[in-house]
Structure 1
């Protein structure tokens, strides 16, 4: 498995007053701000079509990709490829991440493999 942190698409621009992280520019994509509650976990899932870029805004997350665990730092990124099983959870504090989806975003593209809330195999509902 290649390291999902190898391809960094975000450009960091340092300014005298702070920092800008240019996550997406001039690309067709969908962007979500995801917040995860302490002790809660997303389903283990994959996508057939879309790539997802996870840009972690806070620390405190655990990310699983194809059975490998990561503990992202703030502003660390991971590219999830179609077919890769992945999920994320918050250990003891809330965390936020930007999810940038490349390719057509469709609810039926998500396949749930495991789920803590009894939704395994169900289609994603918005």
Structure 2
């Protein structure tokens, strides 16, 4: 397993057969892009720390024991305030790291047009 670093933290892919399973770590005061995917659904589970989410029009602080479902085509974002945090992300459907449409991004990676 290889840890992939990103400006907002990192992720480690645990499994790729039938479903893509990652551990995502978000650094304090960092956030992922506001994004969507065309070919996959995602499910988030909070492991540790304090993280907030935006899924479609729903927004809030993540809680342990809750499954957060992100259907394909739904805009979503994950972020941390003072503390960082970790989630498990399960992706179902056709998984490709390039299947990402970024609407907003703090690191200059938003799609134009």
Establish whether TM, by shorter chain, passes 0.5: yes
Gaps of 5+ in 2: 1-16
Q: Which has the higher strand share?
A: 2
CA distance in 2, matches of 1:58, 1:71: 12
Report the CA distance between 1:107 and its aligned residue: 2.0
Count of residues in Structure 1 that have an aligned counterpart in Structure 2: 96
1:112 aligns with 2:108: no
Q: CA RMSD in A?
A: 1.5
Structure 2 matches for 1:14-33, cutoff 5 A? 28-33=18-23
SS in 2 for 1:58: strand
1:51 aligns with 2:4: no
Q: Do the aligned residues in 2 keep the contact of 1:61 with 1:95 (CA within 8 Å)?
A: yes
Could you say which residue in structure 1 is the equivalent of 2:63?
73
Structure 2 matches for 1:3-18, cutoff 5 A? none
Q: Do the aligned residues in 2 keep the contact of 1:59 with 1:73 (CA within 8 Å)?
A: no
Structure 2 matches for 1:81-120, cutoff 5 A? 81-120=71-110
CA distance in 2, matches of 1:99, 1:43: 15
CA distance in 2, matches of 1:96, 1:75: 14
TM-score by length of 2: 0.79
CA distance in 1, matches of 2:72, 2:52: 20
Task: Say which one has the larger Rg.
Answer: 1
Gaps of 5+ in 1: 1-26
Report the CA distance between 1:59 and its aligned residue: 4.1
CA distance in 1, matches of 2:54, 2:65: 17
Structure 2 matches for 1:33-48, cutoff 5 A? 33-48=23-38
